[in-house]
Amino acid sequence: MAALLNRWRSDPNGTYRSWFLWEERIKNFRSIRRGIQQVVSEIGAGAFGNAYRGSSLEVVVHSIAEQRQIFKGADHAFLWKPKLRIPDIYENADNQRAFGRMLDTCVCCNEESVMLAAIQEIDARAIKGLGPAVANLLYFLHPTLAPPFNTAIVNGYNALTGAKVKLGRWEQYLAMRKGILVLNAKNRASLSNDLGAIGGLLFDIGSGRYAAPPLEDSPVAMAAWRDDLARVREEAIADRLINAARENDHTHTEIQGWLRDLGFAMGYDVWVASNDRNRAFGGGKLSDFCLEVLPFPEGVSAADAVRLIDVLWLDKATRRIVAAYEVEHTTSIYSGIVRMLDLALGEEVQGLEGLFLVAPDAREQDVRNQLNRPAFSRIADLKVRYLAYGELKHNREAIAKFGHGMKPIHAISRTLS
- Whether residue 225 is contained in a domain is answered as no
Residues 373 and 260 in one domain: yes
Helix (H, G, I), strand (E, B) or coil at 230: helix
Whether 329 has a pLDDT exceeding 90, the answer reads: no
Question: What is the rounded distance in angstroms from the CA atom of residue 334 to the CA atom of residue 332?
Answer: 5
* pLDDT at site 243: 44
Host H or E run for residue 278: none
pLDDT > 90 fraction of the chain, expressed in percent and rounded: 47
CB 367 within 8 A of CB 359: yes
Residues 278 and 164 in one domain: no
Question: What is the rounded distance in angstroms from the CA atom of residue 262 to the CA atom of residue 396?
Answer: 7
What pLDDT, in 10s, does the model give residues 212-235? Answer: 877 765 666 556 545 654 654 555
Of 183, 206, 229, the domain-final residue:
206
- Whether residue 226 is contained in a domain is answered as no
Residues 258 and 373 in one domain: yes
Residues 14 and 143 in one domain: yes
Does 366 or 140 have the greater pLDDT score? 140
- In this prediction, residue 199 has a pLDDT band, given cuts at 50, 70 and 90, of very high
The pTM assigned to this predicted structure is 0.65
What pLDDT, in 10s, does the model give residues 202-214? Answer: 999 999 888 887 7
Of 169, 191, 206, the domain-final residue:
206
- The whole-number average pLDDT for the span 84-105 is 95
- Whether residue 196 is contained in a domain is answered as yes
Whether 244 has a pLDDT exceeding 90, the answer reads: no
Residues 314 and 369 in one domain: yes
- Whether residue 307 is contained in a domain is answered as yes
Exposure b/e, 239-267, CB count within 10 A at least 16 = b: eeeeeeeeeeebebbbbbbbbbbbbeebe
* pLDDT at site 247: 39
Residues 182 and 286 in one domain: no
Mean pLDDT, the chain, integer: 84
Does 182 or 225 have the greater pLDDT score? 182
- Whether residue 227 is contained in a domain is answered as no
- In this prediction, residue 375 has a pLDDT band, given cuts at 50, 70 and 90, of low
- In this prediction, residue 246 has a pLDDT band, given cuts at 50, 70 and 90, of very low
Residues 192 and 300 in one domain: no
- Whether residue 234 is contained in a domain is answered as no
| Phi, psi angle pair for 271, to nearest 5° | -120, 135
- In this prediction, residue 248 has a pLDDT band, given cuts at 50, 70 and 90, of very low
CB 19 within 8 A of CB 67: yes
Whether 349 has a pLDDT exceeding 90, the answer reads: no
Q: Where is average pLDDT lowest: 50-64, 194-208, 277-291, 330-344?
A: 330-344
Residues 23 and 168 in one domain: yes
Does 271 or 3 have the greater pLDDT score? 271
- The whole-number average pLDDT for the span 2-19 is 89
pLDDT > 70 fraction of the chain, expressed in percent and rounded: 84
Residues 52 and 182 in one domain: yes
Question: What is the rounded distance in angstroms from the CA atom of residue 65 to the CA atom of residue 143?
Answer: 16
* pLDDT at site 170: 92
* pLDDT at site 67: 77
Considering only CA atoms, which of 387, 388, 384, 391 is closest in space to residue 416?
A: 384
- Domain count within the chain: 2
Question: What is the rounded distance in angstroms from the CA atom of residue 229 to the CA atom of residue 205?
Answer: 11
Exposure b/e, 213-222, CB count within 10 A at least 16 = b: beeeeeeeee
Residues 302 and 185 in one domain: no
Question: What is the rounded distance in angstroms from the CA atom of residue 66 to the CA atom of residue 72?
Answer: 6
- Whether residue 241 is contained in a domain is answered as no
Task: Please report how many Cα atoms fall inside a 13 Å half-sphere around the Cα of residue 132, on the Cβ side.
Answer: 23
Residue type, 166: K
* pLDDT at site 216: 63
Q: Which residues make Cβ contacts (< 8 Å) with residue 131, sequence separation at least 6? A: 77, 167, 168, 169, 170, 173
Structural domain boundaries enclosing 119: 2-206
| Phi, psi angle pair for 354, to nearest 5° | -170, 135
- Whether residue 231 is contained in a domain is answered as no
* pLDDT at site 136: 95
End-to-end CA distance of the chain, in Å?
A: 53
Alpha helices in 109-218 (DSSP H): 112-124, 135-141, 151-161, 170-186, 196-206
Residues 281 and 374 in one domain: yes
- The whole-number average pLDDT for the span 61-73 is 83
Residues 184 and 259 in one domain: no
Does 320 or 336 have the greater pLDDT score? 320
Report the 10 Å Cβ neighbour count for 76.
Answer: 12
